[in-house]
Amino acid sequence: MATSLDEPAAPARVDPAARPRRVRRSRAARPWLLLAGPLLVIAGLLLYPIVRVTVLSFQRYGLKEVISGKPEFIGLDNYREALSGDYLWKTVLPNTVVFAAVAVAGTVVLGTLVALLLQHLGPRLRALVIGSALVAWALPAVTGTYVWVWIFDPDSGIVRRTLIALGMLDPEGFNWFTDRLSFYAIAVLNVIHHGYPFIAITIFAGLSTVPEELHEAAKLDGANAWRRFWSITVPLMRPVFAVVTILSTIWDFKVFAQIYLMPGGDGSNPDVFNLGVWSYVSSINQNKYGLGSAIAVLLTLVLLVITMIYVRALFREDELQ
C-alpha cells in the first residue's frame, strides 16, 4: 500500500542508554580537562629533565662534546664506570644509605616527641613551640648549613671553645670536617634540625584524629603511656607515619646542599661524598656529564626501590591485620 508524500517521516529511534553514557563520559573528562594545564607544566618541569638525564647517561658528554654539540653514544659504559671499583660500594653508597637511615630515624623520632609534647601543652605554649619550630623549617638549607659550620668551626666555633673550657679538648682543637664520621654527624644534626618541624606538625595533626575514649579506656585497664602509644596511637597513625617516613627518606637520600656546602664536601674530600654530591662533582667539576647523569639515574632507582619496598611492606601489614 503506497503512502502519501505529505505524510511526515517517522523520527529515528534513540537509544535511551546513549544519553546517560555521553553524560557520564563528559563528567569523567571534566577533571582531566581542568588538570591538563598543571599536568603539562609538570611534564615540562619533571619528565623532560628525567628523559634528558637518562639519555645523557648513555652518552660520552664531556667538554669536547659540549663545544661540538655531538655527543657519542657509548651504551652502558658510564654505568660500568660508576658501578666498578670500590669507591661506590665502600664510600659513596654507605655514606648515602647510612646517613639517610640515621637522619630519617632521628627526624621521625624527634618529630613524634615534639608532636606528643604539643598535645599536652596549652594554647599559648603550643603556639610558641610551633612558631619556633617553623623558624627552623623555614630557614633555607644554605643558611642552616653555614650556621652549623660556624658552630663547629675548628678555630673559633662554639663547640670547640666549650670543650676546651671543660677540659675535654686540647688547645690545638680538632677539625670536625676532615673526619668522615664527625662530618656526617654534623650533617645529621643539620638535617634533623631542618626536617623535624614538618614531621612534628604533620603527626600532631594526625594525633587529633585519635579518639580520646580509647586512651581513657586503656587508662582504666591500667595501661601506661608507653603501652597506650604502641597499642592505640601507632596502629591508628600508621598511614601518617608511612607518609612522613617515605617523604623523609626521599628528602634525605637526595640531600645535597647540607653536604656540598660543608668544608670538604665541595670536592676536596672525596671520602664524604654521597650520591648526589658525587653526581654533581663528576658533572660540573670534572665535565663528565654522562657519568654524572648515570649516577643520578642510579640514585633515582635506589629511591624507587626503597620506596616500593616500604610501601609494599606497609600494605602487607594491613592485609595481615
Pairing label, strands 72-73, 59-60: antiparallel
**pLDDT in the model for residue 200:** 92
Position 151 scores a pLDDT of: 94
At residue 119 the predicted structure's pLDDT band, cuts being 50, 70 and 90, is confident
Q: Is the pLDDT of residue 141 over 80?
A: yes
Task: Give the pLDDT band of residue 320 (cuts 50, 70, 90).
Answer: very low
For residues 187 and 259, is the Cβ–Cβ distance under 8 A?
yes
pLDDT digits (tens, 9 = 90+) for 175-224: 899 999 999 999 999 999 999 999 999 999 888 888 888 878 888 877 78
Give the C-alpha distances (Å, rounded to integers) separating 26 from 19, 29, 31, 40, 116.
11, 5, 10, 21, 47
* pLDDT higher than threshold 60 for residue 8: no
pLDDT category, 227, cuts 50, 70, 90? confident
pLDDT confidence tier of residue 23, bands split at 50, 70 and 90: low
The domain 41-316 having CATH identifier 1.10.3720.10: the answer here is yes
Domain boundary assignment for the chain: 41-316
Mean residue pLDDT of the chain comes to: 85
